[in-house]
Amino acid sequence: MKIGVYTCHCGGNIAGTVDCEAVTEWAGRLDGVEVSREYKFMCSSLGQELIEEDIKEYGLDRVVVASCSPHMHEPTFRNACQRAGLNPYFLEMANIREHASWVHKDRSEATEKAMALTAASVARVRYNEPLFARLSPVNQNTLVVGGGVAGIQAALEIANAGYHVYLVEREPSIGGHMAQLDKTFPTLDCSACILTPRMFEVGNHENITMLTYSEVEEVSGYIGNFEARIRVRARCINQELCTGCGVCEEKCPAKVVDTIFEAGLGRRKAVYRPFPQAVPKFPVIDQDNCIWFQKGKCRACEKFCPTDAIDFEQDDRILEIEVGNIIVATGYDAFDARRISQYGYARYPNVFTALEFERMTNAAGPTEGNVVLRDGETQPDSIAIIHCVGSRDVRYREHCSRVCCMYSLKFAHMVHEKLPNATVYNFYIDIRTPGKDYEEFYHRLLEEGTVFIRGRAASITDATLTPEEEGKLIVTAEDTLVGRQRRIPVDMAILSTGLEPRHDSHEVARIFSISCSREGFFKERHPKLDPIATMTDGVFIAGCAQGPRDIPDTVVQGAAAAARVLSIIGKGEVEIEAAKAEVNDLTCVGCQMCIESCPYSAIEHLEERQKARVIEALCKGCGTCVAACLSKSITLYHFTDQQLVAQMRGAMDALFELVPA
Amino acid sequence: MTLNPNSVYGRIISELHGGEKLRSCLQCGMCGGSCPSGPDMDHTPRKLFAMIAAGQDDEVLRSNTFWYCVSCYLCTVRCPQEIPITDIMYHLKHQAIQAGLYTTDAVDFSETFIGHVENYGRAFEFGLATQFYLAHHPLGGLKMGPMALAMLSRGRLNLRPTRIKAVRQLRNILNKAKEIGARG
Amino acid sequence: MKYAYYPGCSAESSASAYDATSQMVAAALGLELEEIKDWNCCGATEYFSIDSLPAYALVARNLALAGRQGTSEVIAPCSACYVNLKKVDERMGDYPQLNSDVNEALAAGNLSYTPGSVRARHLLDVICNEVGCDAVSEKVVRPLAGLTLVPYYGCYIGRPEGGFDDVENPQTLDRLLKGLGATVPDYSLKSSCCGGHMTQIGTEVALGILRGLIDLAAKLGADAMVVACPMCQLNLDVYQNQLNSHFGTTYRMPIVYFTQMMALALGMEAAELKFEEGLVPAGPMLEKWQAAEASPQPRKKKSKKALPMPEPLDGGDSG
Ligand SMILES: Cc1cc2nc3c(=O)[nH]c(=O)nc-3n(C[C@H](O)[C@H](O)[C@H](O)COP(=O)(O)OP(=O)(O)OC[C@H]3O[C@@H](n4cnc5c(N)ncnc54)[C@H](O)[C@@H]3O)c2cc1C
Ligand code: SF4
Ligand code: SF4
């Protein structure tokens, strides 16, 4: 056996803490090692060539690279082996960066650990067997989950390229948060005017199957070959007959506060379309608030519907679809302002949230675009806008929500436009305007006369001290640029609530086998180089589901996700990992424990022979069945018992040698 | 950054439990905006933290900020970085006393109070009022006169202190604690 | 359940009304209180400023004594005492070095204390969360109908490390007083500071704070402000005259303990509840109560144009 060992400095990332020269020299003395070298960047083309040349020159039959996590560069080095004619599975990586240099401070201890990890890989690699990746065809359909602007963009890109898209949206209409907005910063174009054409295009596209009022319940399979089960909730409207005339909505006597689209500022009926430009145009009956469903009388809508389209008997439908790729674009939730009690939301009527204010300034909203107090009539003379509500606060959300500064500036502008005599105060910690034309927009607001007070607002209270404060809300804060406390009496306060992960992001992540980062937003494959893919091949993320961002960035990410999907479809087939489980027919007793344990339902039971069999196309090589099998009949290739035991032995032997007892 | 361990900043970080969190102050002003004594402090807590970071130790210790702190903990519960601000205020009082740099008679108020506790084991409101006011605010004390009388007449001021039985035990404990505190 | 009882220094002098009615109410609710024998002062807010280790040891002596009496919970009616007891116990648990230092000091007095073994509870907490506001309200024989009472919690109910109620908008006392039959407005300064020892050091500051507190209560039509801490009572009551002459105001706001109002509603005689200890007389409030007949509140009519009001988050964000 001829093994080559290559120790990487990773610039100073490894060499800064680990003595790479010592590791190299030590590894050179290990059993079977033919060459041992170190290099500044093994992943560079020169580093790769080094391996390739050694394989040819020394006739190496195994390669160990001691460097970073296999996550990023295993494919790099496998390819290098393959180019030099070696089966790629004859490569092992020892992770001496994440597992040694980055997590230890003491140089000699880190070096010892690096040696042990390298020795473990050397001991293991001799048992590695040649494996061959399989190619599998790609289903050309795509599932897009979430019909906000991210999902809309992604769906249109793919559909326009000629491939079919299933767009699944939970609410009765697509559009997401952007449909609620009035104007959009920094250009102030009307949100509906730019979004509705896109929504309409989605609704009428021959390549898009739009499933609204629907949710994905289960996904199985793997890249190129997913199966998804979708629940299409009963709208109680016969879509064949409904013309979208809206008579039902007009006649329905049940009125409720609309906490979704109107953000609580307005009301809707039990049968409703969230907004006039909704796509699709069909209303839904909200069964929780419908008098017929709750009390067994009414049916007013049915009486008045001119086309007999109301169908109280409708049931949820379950749809099974097959797709090759999935894009998850489920967006964000707005922070619940009630959690910060000192701002008095839900206590003082004239404290509003940002989304409420969006609806208020919207000409199609509950106040027809008039900026008024909670009484619905009085115009405010003074307005305070409080930045960072729920953001930049370790007790709530540590992150900066990225859009609040800009939309707060937008709000100030809207007030100046609608109420030229009103005074607008912005309470901020830092004004963050990183975007094209964003800083210019801030300057414009300075010129328009917005009052900026640098200090996180401490509280909003109705406790007044002077006659001038009487009847007002008082915002208290330190004006940090002056170094003194200030009390600013206002008629209205707007809380610029941050963007947080969807309340159900963890459950949704589980359905698609992806994970969440600490905050709860979906975790990308790499924060810089791959913010679109996830650790599950074939599942991509786009928009605020991955982290807070504005509309331009959301659209870019939606399009980028589509491009990734199109490149997979274009390729036509995908390589399937060769590390698969296999059942030994001779010892299998047919107990079916493995079948229950497999998270991918990749094991079947052969009735006539009373044996288990792994369906190769479905197996992900996770190894759960290996642990579950009582008769030790399952082998996971590339993770055989022999390989793992050798690896542990290698590490232990090295430690006995390195660390004196 | 390495800090001079004897600077005000260095001592907060090394001597106070949780003091190292002061490094993460955002200068947001939540504390300064919330403090009930804010209007009367010469520097808001936030400003004081900026001065501490800037190494203006002398000015910091001469400030009245921490003497005007009423220990209400409002800043602490609101600070977005969970900095134990009230405890830092306590620590600054401690540092100012050690450095002999204070311009307020709040110290004497506290010391009179503590003197009673150490001698009797209990607080002694009447003694506190008389001793403190006679020494520092003879005129202010006069204003307090009618108030004290009113309280006396309602049985709300004891003219004599209550003394616990085990004063000696308490003193032993406190002396030991001072000794341990001094060895740092 | 048996509790250790830590009355606090003010119980012997300025707040004897609180001490007396606390014990009466506890007995009526079946809470067994056993005073810590030979307890000492908790150091109030003063000791920690001068020297911290002795301050910890001072408080720890009381915890050690309570433990020796075989109780696992100690009730303090005074909020400052409560916070000191709780803080010392928790910090000793969090910081092993502090724990061993404090125990070394205690050993000089032949005492020791294991952090976590005696839990500090505020009397208001035990009444509302162990006995329960509903159970209390079932025992009411003379409801406080006709009285508008403003609940004033002060700083220490929810602070510093999150006590038993929301930090900014606590509800326990509101619920308790409603259960006694009183009208309880939403008093937005309920957890603001009373000025603490500033009344004695920088009177100007403190008077301003106190004025704001009483002013809002008066605007809400309060017949009295109800407190749960002797320091709050002292500042609001004893300094009221001085603030009136300072600002030219004419407030006559009685400042009463919640235990006094409970005792009243539970049927005890007003004459025994030491209302006369307040400098601002509570007489007019009591007369109004005796004369009052429960009258339903007039409902405000909402205009048709009014926008919907968001629902409050129940219980605040206390946990
Ligand atoms: C007050 C406010 C003002 C703003 N103003 C501006 C502005 O002026 N300019 C600007 O550029 N940006 C602005 N933004 C930011 C903008 O809202 C976002 O960038 C954008 O809406 C993100 O789009 P999205 O598609 O990622 O998410 P969303 O708009 O949240 O869309 C997600 C969609 O997925 C659906 N969904 C969620 N979960 C599921 C599920 N499990 N199954 C199926 N469907 C699901 C939702 O119903 C929704 O339709 C503002 C944000 C706020 C809060
Ligand atoms: S509240 Fe906290 S973070 Fe903000 S200025 Fe004060 S100490 Fe710093
Ligand atoms: S604890 Fe002290 S510094 Fe903090 S808000 Fe209260 S008085 Fe101000």
- pLDDT tens for A505-553 read 999 999 999 999 999 999 999 899 999 999 889 999 999 999 999 999 9
pLDDT number for residue B146: 73
pLDDT digits (tens, 9 = 90+) for A587-626: 999 999 999 998 878 899 999 999 999 988 778 888 999 9
Say which ligand is closest to the CA of B46.
2
Tokens of A127: 């048992």
Question: Cβ distance A658 to A112 under 8 Å?
Answer: yes
Amino acid code (one letter) for A336: D
B166-174 mean pLDDT: 89
**Mean pLDDT for the stretch of residues A560-589:** 93
Contacts of A626-631 spanning 24+ positions with Cβ under 8 A: A626/A581, A627/A597, A628/A593, A628/A594, A628/A596, A628/A597, A629/A593, A629/A594, A630/A589, A630/A591, A630/A593, A631/A587, A631/A588, A631/A589, A631/A591
User: Residue B162 has what pLDDT?
Assistant: 82
Average pLDDT (B136-159) is: 69
For chain B, the C-alpha Rg in angstroms (whole number) is 19
**Max CA pair span of chain A:** 92
Residue C298 predicted with pLDDT over 70? no
> Percent of chain C at pLDDT above 90?
68
> How far from chain centre, in Å, is Cα A266?
30
pLDDT one-digit tens code per residue, B61-115 = 999 999 889 888 999 999 999 999 999 999 999 899 889 887 677 777 777 778 8
pLDDT tens by residue, C20-50? 999 999 999 999 999 999 999 888 777 776 6
The CATH number of A581-637 is which of 2.60.40.10, 3.40.390.10, 3.40.50.720, 3.30.70.20? 3.30.70.20
Q: What is the mean pLDDT of residues C179-185?
A: 95
Q: Quote the pLDDT of residue C315.
A: 47
- For residue A177, the CA-to-ligand 1 centroid distance in Å is 4
State yes or no: pLDDT of C319 exceeds 50. no
| Cβ atoms within 10 Å of C251's Cβ, excluding its own | 17
DSSP-derived 3-state class of residue A210: strand
Residue A551 burial class via C-beta count within 10 angstroms: exposed 0-12, middle 13-18, buried 19 and up: buried
- How would you classify the pairing of strands C32-35 and C2-5? parallel
Domains of chain B, first to last = 8-99 (1.10.1060.10), 104-183 (no CATH)
C203-221 tens-digit pLDDT? 777 888 899 999 999 999 9
ipTM score of complex: 0.86
Least confident range of A584-593, B10-19, B149-158: B149-158
Q: Is B27 in the pocket of ligand 2 (CB under 6 A)?
A: yes
Q: Is the pLDDT of residue C160 over 80?
A: no
Q: How confident is the model at residue A265 (pLDDT cuts 50, 70, 90)?
A: very high
The answer to whether residue A307 scores a pLDDT higher than 70 is yes
Distance CA(B48)–CA(B51), nearest Å, equals 5
The residue extents of the domains of chain A are 3-131, 134-233+316-331+517-571, 247-304, 336-500, 581-637
Atom nearest to B31 CA in ligand 3: 5
pLDDT of residue C164: 85
Q: Which helix (H) or strand (E) holds A319?
A: strand A317-323
What CATH number should be reported for the domain whose range is A336-500?
A: 3.50.50.60
Nearest bound ligand to CA B83?
A: 2
Q: Which domains does chain C have, with CATH numbers?
A: 2-122 (1.20.1050.140), 140-288 (3.40.50.11810)
Closest approach of B54 to chain C, Cα-based (Å): 24
* Bridge-based pairing state of the strands A134-137 and A573-576: antiparallel
Q: What is the pLDDT of residue B144?
A: 65
Confidence at residue C155, expressed as pLDDT on a 0 to 100 scale: 86
Give the position, in ligand 3's atom list, of the atom nearest the Cα of B65.
3
Asked whether the predicted pLDDT for residue B134 surpasses 60, the reply is: no
B34 lines ligand 3 (CB under 6 A): yes
- Reported as a pLDDT band with limits 50, 70 and 90, residue B132 is low
Interval between CA A448 and ligand 1 midpoint (Å): 29
Second-level CATH architecture of A134-233+316-331+517-571? 3-Layer(bba) Sandwich (3.50)
Ligand showing the shortest atom-to-Cα distance for residue C191: 3
**What DSSP assignment string belongs to A136-202?**
EEPP--EEEE--SHHHHHHHHHHHHTT--EEEE-SSSSS-GGGGG-SEETTTTEEHHHHHHHHHHHH
Average pLDDT, chain A: 95
Both tokens of A61, joined, read 């039959």
- Mutation to test the A interface, candidates C243, C307, C317, most A Cβ within 10 Å: C307
Cβ separation C193–B132 shorter than 8 A: no
Model pLDDT, residue A197? 96
Instruction: With beta carbons less than 8 A apart as the criterion, state whether A351 and A475 touch.
Output: no
Q: Which CATH architecture has domain A3-131?
A: 3-Layer(aba) Sandwich (3.40)
Centre of ligand 3 to C-alpha B93, Å, is 13
Q: Identity (one letter) of the amino acid at B6?
A: N
pLDDT at C57: 92
C317 pLDDT more than 60: no
In the block, tokens 């590390």 appear at: A579
Question: Which has the minimum average pLDDT: A117-126, A170-179, B146-155?
Answer: B146-155
A149 lines ligand 1 (CB under 6 A): yes
* Pocket test residue of B25, B41, B89 for ligand 2, highest count of atoms within 8 A of CB: B25
Q: B177 and C101 in contact by Cβ < 8 A?
A: yes
Taking every pair of Cα atoms in chain C, the longest distance, rounded to a whole number of angstroms, is 73
Flag if B174 and C58 touch (Cβ within 8 Å): yes
Q: Which of A459-463, C1-5, C35-39, C193-197 has the lowest mean pLDDT?
A: C193-197
> Which of the four pLDDT bands, split at 50, 70 and 90, describes residue A576?
confident
- At C151, the pLDDT band (50, 70, 90 cuts) reads very high
For the segment A63-90, the average pLDDT, to the nearest whole number, is: 95
Q: For residue A64, what are the β-bridge partners? A: A5, A92
Q: Which residues have a Cβ under 8 Å from the Cβ of A410 and sit 6 or more positions away?
A: A183, A184, A185, A186, A188, A441
d(CA A490, CA B75): 24
Residue B113's pLDDT is 79
- Whether the predicted pLDDT of A496 surpasses 80: yes
Predicted local distance difference test score (pLDDT) of residue B131:
63
Provide the chain B residues 27-86 that lie in CB contact (below 8 A) with chain A. Answer: 27-35, 38-39, 43-44, 46-47, 78, 80-82
- Which chains lie within 8 Å of chain C at 3 or more CB pairs, if any? A, B
Pick the residue whose CA is nearest to atom 6 on ligand 3.
B72
Q: How far apart are CA A654 and CA A2, in angstroms?
A: 20
**What is the mean predicted confidence (pLDDT) over A428-442?**
96
Do A3-131 and A134-233+316-331+517-571 show the same overall fold?
A: no
Cα distance between residue A87 and residue C176, in whole Å: 76
Q: What's the predicted TM-score (pTM) here?
A: 0.88
Give the distance, in angstroms, between the CA of residue A397 and the centroid of all CA atoms in the same chain: 17
Place of tokens 């008389």: B130
**Contacts of residue B1, Cβ cutoff 8 Å, sequence gap at least 6:** none
- Over range A198-214, report the average pLDDT: 97
Q: Do C188 and A367 touch (CB under 8 A)?
A: no
Dist. CA B100–CA C226, nearest whole Å:
42
Residues 6+ apart with CB under 8 A from C176: C124, C127, C128, C133, C136, C258, C262
Residue A430 in this model has a pLDDT that exceeds 50: yes
d(CA B48, CA B68): 13
| Crossing angle (nearest 10°) for helices C172-179 and C258-265 | 20
The string of pLDDT tens digits covering residues A335-385 is: 999 999 999 999 999 999 999 999 999 999 999 999 999 999 999 999 999
- What token pair was written down for A626? 């290996």
For residue C275, the model assigns a pLDDT of: 94
Chain B residues with CB under 8 Å of C281 CB are none
Split at pLDDT 50, 70, 90, the class of A28 is very high
Of B41, B73, B82, which is best to mutate to test ligand 3, by the most ligand atoms within 8 angstroms of its C-beta?
Answer: B73
CA distance to A47, A73, A131, per residue, from A84 (Å)? 14, 17, 16
Q: Give A-chain residues touching C313 at CB under 8 angstroms.
A: 336, 338-339, 346
E-only strand ranges, C157-278: 224-227, 255-257
- Between the alpha carbon of residue C46 and those of residues A52, B92, B114, C196, the distances in Å are 75, 13, 7, 11
C102 neighbors C92 (Cβ within 8 angstroms): yes
Q: A465 vs C306: CB contact, 8 Å cut-off?
A: no
Sorting pLDDT into bands at 50, 70 and 90, what band is B184? low
Mutate to test the pocket of ligand 3, among B89, B90, B92 (most ligand atoms within 8 A of CB): B89
